[in-house]
Structures are given as structure tokens and as C-alpha cells.
A = this chain, B = another copy of it.
Amino acid sequence: MESVVIYADYLSQPCRAVLIFCEIAKISYKFHEVRVIKKQTLRDEYAKVSPSRTVPTMIHGDLILYESHAIIIYLIEKFKLKDNWYPNDIIKRALVNNYLHWHHMNLRLGCGWYVFNRWAGPMFYGGILKDLDVICNERREDAFQVLERILEKHKFVGRTDEVSVADIVCYCEIVQMLMVDIDLKGYPQLQIWFDGIGRIPEVQKVHKTFFRLLPRLKL
């Protein structure tokens, strides 16, 4: 079988989520570092690799995927990971899919875009976009409230009883907020869940670079 090839940046949340599943799947993958902040994703030669010029991008044989959730689902199915990560049961899978699609315009817009705007905005847009800042703050607060309500009733964010892909992608997004010193004190259930997911060995391994660099990444 051909090698899985991953183009990724350890400082990107969806990249880390993909790398965690490479570790969980125990596959030997070829890793190519592509740094977003250095505009390496925008280079012409990278367009030949990634049709969307984004990280993560995965190549496996003829298959090119450039969306982290799609990559992770593919890895889980291809390498037959345990059913809890992405359940076969139609209802459990629907709950996980509901989280994965909700994630983009809610948690990711509230966390990832907020940090990106403050960190890279001056370089990419010539400054922090103020309207975007407002929208991101609103979205993040709404998203945290939704997650808190879910975790008052369920063990995991995908409304499942076992840990799933939803928890991993959610953690990777929220941990990015440590760059702006956010805490979760208004969200006690979210804090307990966050600490638990952070103790998963593969999550810890892939976050080593992020935590090592964190003091220098503070905004």
C-alpha cells in the first residue's frame, strides 16, 4: 500500500487533529512541514500539491484531500480504527456528523479565525479586521454555551458516550485560545472535558511543539 503523505503545520489546529489520527492509527506517514505564517501555503509550487493551497492536505495514492474532517474520516475508515472514533451506527454517526459540520462556522470561526485575525491579520490583511473580531467573539461565546449545555447531559461533545473524532477536533480548536490566555471558568463542564481530552497520549504527543512554542505565541 502506498504511503500516506501529510502536508501540515504544527501550529494549525486542523493539522494537529489529522496528525493525532495518524498517531492513533499507528500508520507510518510522510510528513512535510508547510508554515502558514511564512505564507508557504500560498507558494505556486504548493498549489501543485494542494488544490486549495491549505493545510492539512493528505495524499494517498491518487486521492488528494484538503479538508481535515474528511481526511480524518478517511483514515478511520481506511485503517479500520475502533468504532468509537466514527461510529457505524446511523444515529451515533449522525450525532458525530452534526458536530463536525457545526464546528466550522461556530467553534472554528470563534476560536481559529479569532486567533488568526489577531496573529496573522496584520500580515495578511494589513491589520486586525475589527468587524471580524466582533463576529468571532460572539460566535465563540455562543459555541462555548452550546458545548457546555451538551456536556451537562453527555460525556462527549458529539453527544456520544464514548470519545469520538468530534472531541479531538474540538480540543485542537479550543487549545489554540491559550495564545490569548482565555480560560474556561464560566464553563465548568467544558473545563473538565477539556482536561480529560488533553490527557490522551496521542493528543499530548502532537501538541508538544505547540506547548513548547506557546510562551512565544502569546498575543
Contacts and interface: CB of A to CB of B under 8 A. Distances in A.
Nearest to A78: B90
Interface residues of A, number: 38
A158 to B, nearest CB: 11
Interface stretch (A95-103, A182-190, A198-206, A208-216): A95-103
Interface in A114-167: 129-132, 134-135, 146, 149-150
A105 B104 contact: yes
A150 to B, nearest CB: 8
B146 A52 contact: yes
B70 A98 contact: yes
Contact of A66 (B98, B104, B129, B132): B98
A94 B132 contact: no
A135 B52 CA distance: 17
Given A52-B146, A108-B105, A65 B132 contact: no
A101 B65 CA distance: 11
A151 to B, nearest CB: 13
A91 B105 contact: no
Contact of A101 (B67, B129, B131): B67
A136 to B, nearest CB: 11
Contact of A131 (B70, B100, B106, B129): B129
A73 interface: yes
Contacts of A63: 91, 94-95
Contacts of A51: 146, 149-150
Contacts of A102: 52, 66-67, 70
Interface string A79-98: 00000000000110111011
